[in-house]
Structure formats: structure tokens, C-alpha cells
Structure 1
Amino acid sequence: MISELEQIGQQAQQAAFVLGQLATTVKNQALLAMAQALRTNQAAILAANQQDLQLADKLPAKFIDRLRLTSERINQMAQGMEQVANLPDPIGVVERGWVNHAGLQIVQQHVPLGVIGIIYEARPNVTADAAALCFKSGNAVILRGGKEALKTNLQVGAVMQQALSKLNLPANAIQVISDPAHETANQLMQLTDYVDVLIPRGSSRLIQAVVQHATVPVIETGAGNCHVYVDQSADFAMAEKIILNAKCQRPSVCNAMEKLLVHEKIAADFLPELAAKLTTAGVEIRGDQAVQQILGAAVVPATMADWKTEYNDLILAVKVVPSMETAIEHINQYGTKHSETIITQNYENSERFLSLVDAAAVYVNASSRFTDGFEYGFGAEIGISTQKLHARGPMGLPELTTTKYLVRGNGQIRK
């Protein structure tokens, strides 16, 4: 007897076959219709979200922030869909073409991956973002969000399905799993007969659980233990502005700054004023011995665990380093290969930092908060890949495709 999840997988495969044949204009029309449906059904989505929030009232504030929807956030979800509709369609794009020695015409062309499974936590916006990108790239998607956002995700999914049905398009192109049990998530991770690739989004714990247990191929998206290194030549005013933005603008997200490294020759002059501003913004500072000597008792002593921890909160670990090389070594040892920043006025140092830091995104004199598909001009993003195979960094439409070779001949045989 076929299980409910296997039925979902079969329905997704059938929908993916249809999606792969749709014209770009049809896909764009559907995306615009889904965007409008989100706005039209805003009251129902907010009501479902309120139910989730009431059940999650004992969760930490950082999780509540991710879970909460507002009229503005729903409009942003709709805008993301509209942006995706306006992006170039990657399907059918020719990567390269040539004629070989036997006279065969060979073309490498982009095609959909097929069925994509997304496992994520309490971020209802992912439901719309993932659906938009998968749909535009010709992929069916199976969405398994966290139980904390279940009612919201189901409502958002239903709204998008209704919009597709009205256009006589397969509603099963977008399916939200209604069973929040871990067993169901584990089954999805091993649904190799139906799911072509699995993308986890969320905490490092979630991502590692998927990587370790999945038999479906996984694109690993990243926990963000992101660093800012303030070089000896840094402009203090610029550095303060970038650090406050990277840490405080939205501390619960993966591209927020978690660690600050400061060159020892400027630490005593730079840190006191910065610390005062961070404290005013509600940031708890955890420092190594040198930072404790500069800032005094207000600093919480940092432990070895701090250098590895992604806080997703108003907590910042600070370390004084003797050189840029030491900063790079520290980042490459403790970073999660997500987003790393140098603040410097020294061109050679900036280029060396860009070259030697191992991360998906490396910045010079800019906030790590820009590591985002929306900010990069990709429309909504499916996630930020921290692996090195297939895709790395913010994943937009091209990263949700694979290629196949189309070979045309006129009777050639191999000798």
C-alpha cells in the first residue's frame, strides 16, 4: 500500500513533467496570480499565523521573529514572486554547443532538476520564496516546514494552489506536508524514487541532521557563523556603521555577524566607543582576555565554544588578533563558509582577504547582511549554499537547474 508521502511524491513527479513543458509566459502569469492571491488572502494568512504564534509563545524571541508575519512581510513575499516573474527563465538556455569530430551537433542545455524537497524551520516566507523559484525553474516542490509554522505554511500553500487551479495548472506543483512528525521528515529525506534533490534551511542542527540521514542528494545550505575583521587601516566610523548593521539590523538570520576580530594596534582606541554603541543596542559582548582588559567587567569572558557558536541573537564574541593572517586563520577554522567581511583602507589587504578566506561570500567594507538572493538581484532565494558542489552562495533560478546534452546526428556510428 502506498504511503501518503509516496502519493505526494507521485503527484509532484506528475506536476514536474507538466511544468517542464510550460512556456515562460505561462509560468510568469501563474507567479503573478499567486502573488496577488497572497495579498487578497492576507487576512486568512495572518489569522493562521496568529494561531501559530499563540502556540509558540514560550519560544525564544529570535524564533518568534522568524515565525511572525505582518502585512508588510506578506507584501514582501508577493513582491518576491513578482520579481521572480520578471527574471530570465533559465530553462532552455544553452550553456554551450559545438560540432565534434564525427559531425555530431552537441548542445548542453539547462533543464529542471525535477522534484525538489525543502525542509525548513519557522520561516513562513520560505514557503512562498521556495515555491516561486521552483515553479519558475520548472520544478515541483514538496515543502516540509517546522511544526511551529504549520498552520501558516498550510494556508500559504493552499492560497498558491488555488491560484494555480484557477489557471488550469497542476496545483500539486506546490505541496506542503501537513504531518509535522520527525518520522515524516525522515521519510522525505529518503524518498529517492520521487525527490531529485533535498535542500535544508535552518539551524546547523537541522542541516546536519538532513546531511547525515538523507539518501536523497542534498544541497547543504548554511549556518552562519559570520565574522567581521577590522584591519589596522580601517576607518572607525565606517567600521562602526557596518558592525552595528551586521549585528543588530536582524540578528536572528544566518547572514548576521556573530564574531568580531580587531587588529591589536587599533583595539584599545576602537573598541570602547563601539562597545558603548553595541551595549546601547542591547548586544551582550563576550570577549577574549585582551578584550576584557580593554573593556573591563562589562564583558562576559568568551569560551572556546563561543568561537563556534551561531547565536542568532544580540550576542557578539570579540577577539583581538595580531595580524590579518591570524584573522584569516581564525575565520577559516571557526567559520561556516557563509559570509565574511574585512573593513580596511589597504587595497592589498582587501585583495588578500578576498583570495584566502574560504566562504561563499567575502566582503570588503560592506555588511554581511547583503548575502541574500533578493539583495543580489536574484529575486527570492531558495537558500544560501555553503558547499562547493553544484551551487555556492545565494541560490537563485540557475542553481535550481541541471543540464542535459542534446545530440543531433545524421547516421553517425562510432568506429
Structure 2
Amino acid sequence: MTSVTTTPFDDLSPVLQAAYRARAAAAELAPLPRAAKDDALLAIADALEVRTREIIEANAADIARAREAGTSDTVIDRLTLTPERIRVIASDVRDIVALPDPVGEVVRGSTLPNGLELRQLRVPLGVVGIIYEGRPNVTVDAAALCLKSGNAVLLRGSSSAYTSNTALVRVLRDAVHGAGLPADAIQLVPGESRESVTELMRARGMVDVLIPRGGAGLIKTVVEQSTVPVIETGTGNCHVYVDERADLDLAVDILVNAKAQRPSVCNAAETVLVHREVADEFLPKALAALRDAGVTVHGDEAWLKAGAAAGVEVVPATPEDWETEYLSYDIAAAVVDSLDAAVGHIRLWSSGHTEAILTTDTRAARRFVAMVDAAAVMVNASTRFTDGSEFGFGAEIGISTQKLHARGPMGLPELTSTKYVVTGDGHIR
């Protein structure tokens, strides 16, 4: 009599079927050597360049719909793919090939007094779900990072980029399959409705972790509604504190860079706090530099007075300004009486992303670092440096603002878990 193994596969929804296939693919990926994964990544990079026209044609359909819907030029720019942008994306994939493979790394090991050999090894997380907004480049970045770290990935981008993401995932799957790896290691979550997102968030036991990438609203929804474990990324209400012993000219340069070099990203500064002892000298310099950079200051009474004296318009700050992640050419500004007052303000309003102190006083810097609770703390450096590439990690899947599993820029090691391998010689307890 032949036994038949049955599965609930046929009874599952399309989203759960995709998760089921991803689990099977993850099991195949886990033991693969680095060379096999790197060959697949090189195949992906080549395929992106060879099939650029196909990708751009799909992207054009998304852009046309976005324009018809009255979408802002900023959002359309994030959505747009060009031959040059695709070449950059392909180059980024090749950069991932050059990174060390974290899988199999011995985190720690020892021989126990009883002779057992103990090793803690890095292993893939398994099935990683990524929920993100209208940036098609994230589709490739996330797929490549998950593949390199031995994970299968379920990609759920926004409906605004659905045609682009469909084309990109088709190219990625073909390349992976051609390299001898399971195509289901990379899948686009079926459907454009919110119900498909909800199903992904409730797929506990089939999806090992979810990583949301996008604005505060998206992240909040995933964190609060998901039953799948979530790595919270993103929101950056970042502060720059100018201490009483700061080099003020240097501080102006750092402040302008932190705010205006690229204001639409999570590591851009959103609030500047200035010690009262240097406010009279610093505020006029900062106001002029921020004005020249196109930045609107939302200031307290001290900043309003300084703006009036300098002929620079300052918007009166409201309580909402202290909690706002502008992602624009706006910054909240206040004068504080002490370092501890600055820390108190930061601890009240910070999102735990990146905080900076500008000072020549090493004791003040040490106190600030010790008291501020954030994924990254900068001393005399721009908040814009909180980035996987800038930290030397290579590419990143996101910047975690939580404290469990991973915190800060998440590179390849953060896409792994660990397991203990214990080797004995007939040992019994």
C-alpha cells in the first residue's frame, strides 16, 4: 500500500500559497554555499541590464497612472526608473556579491568542561516579508540581500509601483532559476488590495519576520496589526544639539548638511537644539545658512526674535513640530538651558533613530552619548551618516529603531539568526 503525503496547499489563499512556496525555497537555500548564491546574484545583475527596456516599459505604465492621479513630482521621481538608475541598481547587486556571506559564521564557540564542543552559528531567518512603498529599487535591493543571506523573500510593494515590481520580480526569478536556484526564493505577494497586506501580516508560522520600509503610517500599521514578528525600521525624528562649547562654524556646516543634503530620508535632521550660552552668536549664522539652503525654521521664542533681528522669516513652532518627521526643507528649532535639558527634550520626542551632539567638550560628549537612547549617536558629525553603506556594511535592508534582534543599519548579519551546534562523543547527561 502506497502512502500519500497531503498538504493544505490547495486550500490556501494565493498569499498563503506564496508563503508556502517560500518556505520550501528557504529550505533549499539554507545549506547553499556562497558561490551558488553569488552566481545567482551576478545573473540578476546581468539580467537587469539586458532586460532594461522591458523594465522601463512597465515602469512607464506606473508613472502614467501616477500623473493621472495627480501624484507629486517628488513621489513620481522616487517611482521612476531610467537606464542609468537600473545600471546603478545592477551595480549595487554586484557590490552585494563582494560582501562576506554571514551564513555559517561562528559567533562564539568553546569546549565545555565535560568535553562537549559548543558552537553558535549564523543561520538564515527563513522567510522574510518586506512591505514597502513606491520605490521599485527596494524590490531588487531586498531580494538581493535576502538571497545572499540565504532567505526566501516575499515582496509587497505599493500598488503605485505594481507594474514595475511585477516586471522586476519576473526578471529576478528568471535569473535565479537560470542559475539553478529555486525561483520561489523571490516572490511578489499576489494582489494589490489591502487584504493581501493583512494576510501577509497574519501569516505567522509561515513567514518568519516582516520588515516594513516607508513612512510612519505604514510602519505603525505593520507594527500594531501584524502577528508575524516585526523588525521596526525607519521613522527618524533626528535631533542636532549644539553645545555651549561647540565650534560654531563647524556646527553650522554640520547642521545644514544634516537637514538639507537630502531632506526626504529618515536620517535627515528634523530638530536643532542650541545651548543658551551660544544662542546669540549661533542663531544668526544658522538662520542665514538654513535660509540659503532653502530651509524653513519652525522656532521657539528665541529663534523668532533672532529671525526678526536678522531679517529671516521664522515660523512659530507648535507642539506638533517637536514630534514631526518633516522629510522636507523644514526644521524645528529651540534654545535650551543645558545639556540635560537638551537630552530631556530628545528623550521626550525622539523616535530612537539618530541623535547628534556638536561640542569640543569630551565630558559633555560622553554624557550625551550615555544618556541619549537611540540606534546611533553622532559626536561632531552629521546625522546623515547613519547608513549601512556609510558604516561600511555594504547595502542595508533598513535602519532598525527597535532594540530586539537588530538596531541601527541592518546589513547581511542582521538578516540571520543563530543556532547552537553541540558535538559530543557519546556524551549523556
Q: TM-score range by the shorter chain?
A: over 0.9
Counterparts of 2:248 and 2:258 in 1: how far apart (Å)?
15
1:340 corresponds to: 355
Q: TM-score, normalised by structure 2?
A: 0.93
Considering only aligned residues, what root-mean-square deviation do their CA atoms show, in Å? 1.6
2:156 corresponds to: 144
Q: Report if aligned partners of 2:16, 2:199 keep a CA contact under 8 Å in 1.
A: no
Do structure 1's residue 114 and structure 2's residue 126 form an aligned pair? yes
2:53 corresponds to: 43
Q: Report if aligned partners of 1:226, 1:258 keep a CA contact under 8 Å in 2.
A: yes
2:292 corresponds to: 280
Report the AA paired with residue 67 of structure 1. L
Which whole-Å deviations, capped at 9, do the CAs of 1:111-158 have from their partners, x for residues lacking one?
Answer: 111000011111222111111111011000001011122222222212
**Unaligned ranges ≥5, structure 1:** none
Q: Report if aligned partners of 2:14, 2:190 keep a CA contact under 8 Å in 1.
A: no
Equivalent positions of 1:5-404 (< 5 A) are 5-57=15-67, 58-296=70-308, 298-404=313-419
Counterparts of 1:344 and 1:394 in 2: how far apart (Å)?
25
- Alpha carbons of 1:257 and 1:69: their partners in 2 closer, same or farther (altered >3 Å)? farther
Q: Report if aligned partners of 1:95, 1:109 keep a CA contact under 8 Å in 2.
A: yes
- Alpha carbons of 1:76 and 1:361: their partners in 2 closer, same or farther (altered >3 Å)? farther
- Alpha carbons of 1:322 and 1:393: their partners in 2 closer, same or farther (altered >3 Å)? same
Which whole-Å deviations, capped at 9, do the CAs of 1:177-203 have from their partners, x for residues lacking one?
Answer: 241211110110011131011111111
Q: Report if aligned partners of 2:96, 2:395 keep a CA contact under 8 Å in 1.
A: yes
Counterparts of 2:213 and 2:61 in 1: how far apart (Å)?
23
Counterparts of 1:229 and 1:70 in 2: how far apart (Å)?
39
Report the AA paired with residue 49 of structure 1. N
Q: Report if aligned partners of 1:150, 1:178 keep a CA contact under 8 Å in 2.
A: no
Q: Report if aligned partners of 2:124, 2:416 keep a CA contact under 8 Å in 1.
A: yes
Which whole-Å deviations, capped at 9, do the CAs of 1:227-270 have from their partners, x for residues lacking one?
Answer: 11111222233222222222112111111111111112222222
Q: Report if aligned partners of 1:66, 1:252 keep a CA contact under 8 Å in 2.
A: no
Q: Work out the number of aligned pairs and report it.
A: 414
Counterparts of 2:420 and 2:51 in 1: how far apart (Å)?
43
Counterparts of 1:241 and 1:75 in 2: how far apart (Å)?
33
Report the AA paired with residue 7 of structure 1. Q
Counterparts of 1:242 and 1:310 in 2: how far apart (Å)?
19
Residue range with higher mean Cα deviation, 281-290 or 109-118: 281-290
Following TM superposition, where does structure 1 have runs of at least 4 consecutive aligned residues deviating by more than 4 angstroms? Answer: none
1:2 corresponds to: 12
Counterparts of 1:61 and 1:291 in 2: how far apart (Å)?
32
Aligned to 1:372, the other structure's residue is in SS state coil
Report the AA paired with residue 133 of structure 1. L
**Unaligned ranges ≥5, structure 2:** 1-10
* Structure 1 residue 7 displacement after superposition: 1.1
Counterparts of 2:388 and 2:82 in 1: how far apart (Å)?
21
Aligned to 1:363, the other structure's residue is in SS state strand
Counterparts of 1:66 and 1:223 in 2: how far apart (Å)?
18
Counterparts of 2:74 and 2:239 in 1: how far apart (Å)?
20
Report the AA paired with residue 160 of structure 1. L
Report the AA paired with residue 14 of structure 2. E
* Structure 1 residue 76 displacement after superposition: 2.8
Report the AA paired with residue 69 of structure 1. L
Q: TM-score, normalised by structure 1?
A: 0.96
Counterparts of 2:377 and 2:74 in 1: how far apart (Å)?
25
* Structure 1 residue 56 displacement after superposition: 2.2
Aligned to 1:252, the other structure's residue is in SS state coil
Aligned to 2:47, the other structure's residue is in SS state helix
Counterparts of 1:312 and 1:246 in 2: how far apart (Å)?
12
Counterparts of 2:260 and 2:54 in 1: how far apart (Å)?
31
Counterparts of 2:337 and 2:173 in 1: how far apart (Å)?
57
Aligned to 1:56, the other structure's residue is in SS state helix
Which whole-Å deviations, capped at 9, do the CAs of 1:85-108 have from their partners, x for residues lacking one?
Answer: 111111111112223343322221
